[in-house]
Structure 1
């Protein structure tokens, strides 16, 4: 996997040089969580590394080549619309349309080649959902890449020798990117990286889950931190009648980062997801009822922490007011 880590690191260095030359810079603002102008688009290195791994997978396992091709096409679509958006902002509905197309290609291939419409539906929903979840949650140093690396580690554990190998490539590529983004961000991942990572995790979750049967839902446990923060924040914005599709800084991780800094928040999320990942080894050895309680416990815990952070911020704002 060293080659994919090297591709991630070298590609990020090249992407940074390109971003500086082309003035592809994220400026600070009220809808941003950073205070220093920073180049973006470094996630294209992760995309390139994962695409190389997908090609290698198709050559090494010819029986899986059609699925690997569908995965790669979807990844390129998501990355391409993100890359264009990193250069000049696009309509969120255009981006969503491309995400839906990429998810449909993946789901169609799974249905055709695996003959399982429910697995195809799960792949479609996950692909559309996680593509946007990772985009929502990519707002402070190191968070999106570190969470992706941890989730990819879990997928490598459950994905078997084929898709687990591709998950390891994603893990390695993220590790190659992280030193450029954490603890000090010399480049941001950009939409090209965040959306593509979400898509890749969704596809790998569906393909790895197909071999787990009724236990496939366990793969949702390492996603708890991102799923809870993104979904609860989105629901709150919708309930308030806000333009929920526009950039903002209302996620729990953003609120918390304003109080204690990016580094501590990223580490806290890493600990939470790391413990969730470790619990997977325990729940696979016990009865299904306990497994379900364990999974629910992580999501309930995440929701509780989200509420605490948002409540503390509201109280602080009231005092300042």
Structure 2
């Protein structure tokens, strides 16, 4: 335990230093997200700061692998998937790519995670779920990374939730992610001086899928409960996407139809919207731990009820901003 606190502080500092360096690099290379009709920000802002989170995690995994050699192979395979997702995102931040090559890389990274889960559990269903979840979360975090601090704070809260749920020492991996996001966050909230870019948003989705996979592998909770900390993003992204598909819109195109985007367009500040999502996330953390004490099938039903409540709240709030 003695190495944990200084180690986590080192991750925070490394992430903060690398974010500052990434901002300088983006300014020199003119990697800027410009304001526009399909954007939620008013000034040109550097992008690509999420590379700092990625590198902080990879360096931390090297340290963990040295301290726990039995985990080194698993961390190496997971890191390969992380590098793939972050790498295609970094490329896209510099030179936008078509959706198909990006999706192909996401699928390959998801398959790596699924192979790890299959190795841990021997369950094809858990492995398949992990593959689909990784692909989904990579893209969900990309869709939802549109205002100051939103994607980072949700990732921070979710990683804290998994740190509280997972057994030691694997809970340390969740804390490492929380530390990396914490180092980046002051540059992104309450006023963004840099955006994380596709390199960061996709990587966060993959990293969170990895924590859910750890929950499955350690039998910490059923999959329904493991998704509770992700409910805000899954509901907003999922229902918005379903609506666009139903209306026959080109759902892969950039848009401002998510609830958080409509809130901002209605006049709410980025701080207010991000804080609202954060309050929902904190409630999810509390309820997740309550649900773990319930016997099956009540734990599943409680988690599904929370998802239904989130969908209902989404619908109510969306109707309000439409008025």
TM range (shorter): over 0.9
> 1:215: how far off?
2.7
State the SS of the aligned residue for 1:242.
Answer: coil
Scaled by the length of structure 2, the TM-score of the pair is: 0.94
> 1:114: how far off?
4.3
State the distance in 2 between where 1:303 and 1:280 align: 17
Contact persistence 1:210–1:216 (CA under 8 A): no
State the distance in 1 between where 2:224 and 2:245 align: 27
Out of 274, 299, 307, which is 2:282 matched to? 274
> Is residue 161 of structure 1 aligned with residue 168 of structure 2?
yes
CA deviations on 1:33-71 (whole Å, 9 max, x unpaired) are: 111100000000000111112222222222222211111
Out of 261, 268, 293, which is 2:269 matched to? 261
State the SS of the aligned residue for 2:222.
Answer: helix
State the distance in 2 between where 1:4 and 1:67 align: 20
Out of 174, 178, 182, which is 1:171 matched to? 178
Partner of 1:29: 36
User: Comparing 74-83 with 51-60, which one deviates more in the overlay?
Assistant: 51-60
Summarize the Cα distance change of 1:113–1:301 in structure 2 as closer, same or farther, 3 Å threshold: closer
Summarize the Cα distance change of 1:103–1:62 in structure 2 as closer, same or farther, 3 Å threshold: same
State the distance in 2 between where 1:225 and 1:66 align: 33
CA deviations on 1:210-269 (whole Å, 9 max, x unpaired) are: 222663431111111000000000000001111101111100011012221111010000
State the distance in 2 between where 1:255 and 1:108 align: 39
Scaled by the length of structure 1, the TM-score of the pair is: 0.94
User: Comparing 244-253 with 294-303, which one deviates more in the overlay?
Assistant: 294-303
Unaligned runs of 5+ in 2: 1-7
Alpha-carbon RMSD across the aligned residues, in angstroms, is: 1.4
Partner of 2:206: 199
1:12-91 alignment runs, 5 A limit:
12-91=19-98
Partner of 1:286: 294
User: Comparing 279-288 with 262-271, which one deviates more in the overlay?
Assistant: 279-288
Out of 126, 131, 143, which is 1:119 matched to? 126
State the distance in 2 between where 1:123 and 1:3 align: 30
Structure 1 runs, 4 residues or longer, greater than 6 Å off: none
Summarize the Cα distance change of 1:178–1:213 in structure 2 as closer, same or farther, 3 Å threshold: closer
Partner of 2:114: 107
User: Comparing 250-259 with 281-290, which one deviates more in the overlay?
Assistant: 281-290
State the distance in 2 between where 1:113 and 1:279 align: 27
State the SS of the aligned residue for 1:288.
Answer: coil
> 1:110: how far off?
3.0
CA deviations on 1:116-157 (whole Å, 9 max, x unpaired) are: 322221211111010111001100100000000010011112
Summarize the Cα distance change of 1:8–1:40 in structure 2 as closer, same or farther, 3 Å threshold: same
CA deviations on 1:74-105 (whole Å, 9 max, x unpaired) are: 00000000001101111011111110011112
Contact persistence 1:67–1:113 (CA under 8 A): no
> Is residue 147 of structure 1 aligned with residue 154 of structure 2?
yes
